[in-house]
Chains A and B, each alone.
Chain A
Amino acid sequence: MSEHKSDIRTGVYVCHCGTNIASVVDVREAARHAASLPGVEISREYKYLCSEPGQALIRQDILERGLNRIVVAACSPHLHEETFRTAAAAAQLNPFHVQMINIREHNSWVHEDKARASRKAEKLIRAAVRRVAHHKPLERVRVPINPAVLVVGGGIAGIHAALTVANAGRQVYLVEREPSIGGHMAMFDKTFPTLDCAACILTPKMSAVKAHPNIKLWTHSDVTDVQGYVGNYRVKVTRWPRMVREELCSGCLECVAACVFKEAKVPDEFNFGLSKRKPIYIPFPQAVPQVPLIDMENCIQFRTGKCKKACAQACGDRKAIDFQQGEEIKEVDVGTIIVATGSKTFDAERAAYYGYGTYPNVYTSLEIERLVNACGPTAGRVVLRNGETPKSVAIIHCVGSRDENTNRWCSRVCCMYSLKLAHLLKEHTGAEVFNFYIDMRTPGKGFEEFYQKLLNEGVHFVRGRVAEVTEWALDQSEEGKLVLRVEDTLLGLVRRIPVDMVVLSVGMEPHADASEVRRLFNITCSSEGFFLERHPKLAPVNTFTDGIFLAGSCQGPKDIPDTVAQAGAAAAEALALIGAGYMEQEPNAAYVVEDHCSGCGACSALCPYSAITLDAGARRSSIHPVLCKGCGTCVAACPSGAIRQNLFEDEQIFEEITGVLTHG
């Protein structure tokens, strides 16, 4: 119950937000209008209410003028509601006696007609003033935080996040879909701009993960179900059978050697088919865990059932090989989740005009990463499909980036890795290397210097997006070559450039199943399909679901330094919650007024969290205050008006409706 009208003493504060609001909305008039409203004790306009002096102003008014309701007309509550609640609390006013309204994102930024925008602002203020009168003092509910953390994805982001949390002494469950952790970084030879060897910096971290007492590592596994809420998630992880029992395997790889396939015949996924592997294999030498797996499509035992099982014999009485192994479901309780599922590279065949898949010597950048890699398919020898060393190489930037027909965004890393590859290719082959770029983007520590280095190595830089790659030869000089046709936009001339090898610098895009993953964790996607952060600047690793954080390129294209930084941030956010031990929940839960409930049960079916229980005997329903997430669906449904919702009481909303609709 709200106090009697006469005891309501409201303060209304209209923010200029510099000129963001004031340039469109007549803030002075808005404040004047507010002053005329019933129950308004004082109304002010101020340049930046969110600034310390702005908040101080509010605190002072509360104390000196005995305000008991605050209305702040400024930006989105998603941005500053917390700020002003805290300010109120600091002045001993219950923080939930503050109502914020959005006259920036929803008004000054989207409307041009100043007069009407100003009138709209007044309507919204009227609504808020009426509403806030019905606010009640509320207490936040505290939810305990389970200190265990789930990290999804074992790329560099997941690895770093997991280690950070684990080093803080917390239990981590690290789930990776592939048979080994390491992600894309494990495929690289060198990293830009420092050219330090990727393996040398990644491998130790990978083994650290394996060895860490606080990390439970599940590879070749998927998170298949997530229930619960911040602090108390229950997660199901499905471990796909690798047909080799991890706990029994010593990693001696005798089985691989013994396999009846004397030489490898199966295209090797990790090397994009540039090399072959056996049906029983480990993805790559430094794989973690060092446990082979059997691929059932190609294993004779699984295809025919008639194999002498040389692998099993080789394994001997360790008996690690288990052709009967089935999938296994693990269930764990965690308090927070770090999503680091990464991204995939653009499928170059979608850019048909570059002939990938048609001309054998057109490669993607990842394939080249493997070719130049010392422990790659060719042990670092860069050769064409026919085994010859290329004398000229073209590197085409922005393949599947900055393109309305494929992906519109800039993938951020391609310019730099193209420079890196240019350097490595030149180093390995001495070939003449051409870079074709639209804009050279080197915004990062040491990046521009690296570009300079490449310029001085005599690499060609042609500013222009290659139109096509063909085998069409105009004369002898072009016979048997891949011919690029491109406008050198700096010369303003169209050029034909024959080369032996073409490298497509493919961009980064969300995983095909990103939207399923998003639903699994109840987080949001941006329009490109990358996971959406809570706020691009102020909450870059948070999601809209409390206790779930983002790290790495699942949130957007990123290079390694940024990924690692973000992974650290995500870990820190998780640890912060764990450190606090509890999280305060917005007190917007629904509740049943016992005497009003007839126990009709209309609500029970509605609650997705089964927070509502109907006591048949007492003929009353009741709602569990923590299980309730405050959607209010049951409130809208309760036919006798017995269910109410804190912060969203019927009266409050009716008052808002009246407010925005009354003239004047």
Chain B
Amino acid sequence: MSNRPKVAFYWCASCGGCEEAVVDLAEVLLDVAAAVEIVLWPVALDFKRHDVEAMPDGSIDLTFLNGAIRTTEQEEMAVLLRRKSKLLVAFGACAQLGGIPGLANLWDRRSIFDAVYADAPSTVNPEGVRPETEFREKGRAVELPGFYDDVKTLAQVVDVDYLVPGCPPTPALLASAVEALLNDHPPPRGSVLAPDRALCEDCPRRESKPETLLVAEFRRPHLTMIEEEKCLLSQGLLCLGMATRAGCGAACIRGNMPCSGCFGPTSRVKDHGAKALSAVTSLIDSGNQEEIDRILATIPDPVGSFYRYGLPASLLRRKRLET
């Protein structure tokens, strides 16, 4: 057997974009592939759960797990891989913060099932079939994973050694992560493998930002002629760059779109959305309540705007469950 470090990739509740990021390593991928031995990668190669179970504990040097935890099966795999791996990396926004799937925390299992298996206009389900965790026919039993009320981050179910932010993480970030983690002096455990400053730091438009920035109205990208080169916030666009960790190279801004916060907060911030909200509202140019409310009304969906990627990782984690 080779003594190349054993690396695993696994996905839970995710869109596959993070897998794309791996593939996007392109020729770099070949070097990586050469440098490491990939022992698990369901997207690309066929592995079964028992293959993993067969591995001795701690035999995987490095596991990149992307996607959030939403089913029992995903939680079991997370636990299993944790046991098998020396280092477990939460890879991408979903694993780190809950990601887009995390917005499901605005509902609960029942309402989601109602929507999917009954209410959705596209649903044809005369028998009103619902997913069941156990299904027996002719004495044979099939088990399906259980479905949680909550979407959780990886760190909410197992200990995580490192986190790589991004939706998806940039190939560059992945490459540097692999390199950083496999060399002799890895960064302190628990660190997020990206700069610990806000995106404004790297923003190509920062010079255009006015000395004191005040906003009298928030505008939505698809309804706005967005000026190139000009600070997006100063154009009234809800850009979360000032509250969001740098490391993406300001990709969205270069694409003339405001930052929506997929890299999550800096290490000092407990709740990305709350801080973003606090900062954004500080820019409102009014002292009178009606005026303030008028301006705030131009932010259509606070939760969706400030917690787009991080609801499960936020202090409240979800919408209140009816008790």
List A residues at the B interface (Cβ < 8 Å). 595-606, 614, 616, 619, 633, 636-642, 650, 654
List the B side residues contacting A642 at CB < 8 Å: 197, 266, 268
Contact B212 A605 (CB under 8 A): yes
Min C-beta distance of A449 to chain B, whole Å:
57
Which residue of chain B lies nearest to A606 when distances are taken between CB atoms in the complex? B282
Min C-beta distance of A651 to chain B, whole Å:
10
Q: How far is the CA of A637 from the CA of B267 in the complex (A)?
A: 16
List the A side residues contacting B270 at CB < 8 Å: 654
Contact A639 B275 (CB under 8 A): yes
Contact B213 A637 (CB under 8 A): no
List the B side residues contacting A604 at CB < 8 Å: 211-213
Contact A636 B278 (CB under 8 A): yes
Q: How far is the CA of A641 from the CA of B242 in the complex (A)?
A: 11
Contact B207 A600 (CB under 8 A): no
Contact B209 A601 (CB under 8 A): yes
Q: How far is the CA of A7 from the CA of B168 in the complex (A)?
A: 43
A596-B266, A598-B242 known; A639-B212 Cβ under 8 A? no
List the B side residues contacting A602 at CB < 8 Å: 213, 242, 279, 282-283
Which residues of B277-292 are within 8 A (CB) of A?
278-279, 282-283
Contact A597 B242 (CB under 8 A): no
16 examples of A-B residue contacts, CB within 8 angstroms: A596-B196, A596-B197, A600-B198, A600-B241, A601-B213, A602-B282, A604-B213, A605-B212, A605-B283, A619-B200, A619-B206, A638-B275, A639-B198, A640-B265, A642-B266, A642-B268
List the A side residues contacting B178 at CB < 8 Å: none
A637-B278, A639-B278, A640-B243 known; A600-B200 Cβ under 8 A? yes
Q: How far is the CA of A84 from the CA of B214 in the complex (A)?
A: 43
Which residues of B237-275 are within 8 A (CB) of A?
241-243, 246, 265-270, 275
Contact A601 B198 (CB under 8 A): no
List the A side residues contacting B198 at CB < 8 Å: 598, 600, 639-640
Which residue of chain B lies nearest to A634 when distances are taken between CB atoms in the complex? B282
Contact A599 B201 (CB under 8 A): yes
Interchain residue pairs A-B with the least CB separation, the first 10: A641-B268, A600-B242, A639-B243, A639-B279, A598-B198, A600-B200, A598-B201, A640-B198, A637-B282, A605-B212
Contact A640 B209 (CB under 8 A): no
Q: How far is the CA of A614 from the CA of B210 in the complex (A)?
A: 11
Contact A599 B212 (CB under 8 A): no
B276 within 8 A of A: yes
B199 within 8 A of A: yes
Min C-beta distance of A8 to chain B, whole Å:
22
Min C-beta distance of B143 to chain A, whole Å:
39
Contact B206 A599 (CB under 8 A): yes
List the A side residues contacting B246 at CB < 8 Å: 598
Min C-beta distance of A637 to chain B, whole Å:
4
Q: How far is the CA of A639 from the CA of B198 in the complex (A)?
A: 8
List the A side residues contacting B197 at CB < 8 Å: 595-598, 640, 642
Which residue of chain A lies nearest to B207 when distances are taken between CB atoms in the complex? A616
List the B side residues contacting A596 at CB < 8 Å: 196-197, 266, 268
Contact A599 B279 (CB under 8 A): no
List the B side residues contacting A640 at CB < 8 Å: 197-198, 242-243, 265-266, 268-269, 275
A605-B212, A640-B243 known; A599-B200 Cβ under 8 A? yes
List the A side residues contacting B268 at CB < 8 Å: 596, 640-642, 650
